[in-house]
Homo-oligomer: A and B are copies of this chain.
Amino acid sequence: MASSASEALTPRAREIVAAARLILEQEGPDGLSMRAIAERLGIRAPSLYKHVADKETLEVALISDGLAEIAETFESAAAAGDDPLASIACAYRGWALAHPHLYRLMMDRPLPRDRLAPGLEDRAAATVVAATGGDPDAARAAFAFAHGMVVLELNERFPPAADLDAAWNRGVAAFGRRRERGSGA
């Protein structure tokens, strides 16, 4: 199943993307230079340009891979528990905290929609919409809440003593599908 945009790249280019990701996750965005990527592969920076057009292409590949991973994570989470929105929220937070620099790279700018695999963005969104009972306003509000919580947590914006789990629960409860009488199926 082709879920990663970097699969359209040559094998060598995929190695370069993989090296870039390691550097990004370990050293942050300031460490992600073409020179550093080349060094990790044991070559010189100019050689990279035989395989990748430019740095921006590399970043698009990283963003695309991250999006695909989030979509997969959402689908697993939604299928797992009896409270899809809570499961998705938990998965979202977990993924973001596990990949802070990649998460920021993905979120801190407009999506390069014209360079992503078609349907990728919708795939991630669909599970959230479903979990909010098909209400797009609630889905967007829930997305905003989750992103806000994650990014404020990453940026150490809350007081150290703050109970972030409680705040998460408060938000998830606010946007969850209203339980219907009887079965939800």
- Residues A141 and B156 in contact, CB atoms below 8 Å apart: no
A148-B145, A148-B148, A174-B174 as given contacts; A108 in contact with B140, CB under 8 Å: no
Q: Is the CB of B143 within 8 A of A171?
A: no
Is there an interface contact between B144 and A167, defined as CB atoms closer than 8 Å? yes
On whether the beta carbons of A137 and B152 are closer than 8 Å, the reply is no
Interface string of A31-73 (1 = CB under 8 A from B): 0000000000000000000000000000000000000000000
- 9 closest Cβ pairs, A-B complex: A148-B148, A174-B174, A144-B148, A140-B167, A144-B149, A147-B148, A141-B171, A145-B145, A110-B156
For the complex, give the distance between the alpha carbons of A171 and B146 in Å: 12
- Contact of A147 with B151 in the complex, beta carbons under 8 Å: yes
**Which residue in chain B gives the minimum CB-CB distance to A171?**
B141
The count of identical subunits is: 2
| Cα of A30 to Cα of B177 in the assembled complex, Å | 43
Q: Are A144 and B141 in contact (CB under 8 A)?
A: no
Cβ of A109 to closest chain B Cβ, rounded Å:
6
CB-defined contacts of A171 to chain B, threshold 8 Å: 141, 144-145, 174
Whether, in the assembled complex, A155 has its beta carbon less than 8 Å from a beta carbon of chain B, the answer is: yes
How does the 8 Å CB contact mask read for A81-125 relative to B, with 1 for contact and 0 for none? 000000000000000000000000001111100000000000000
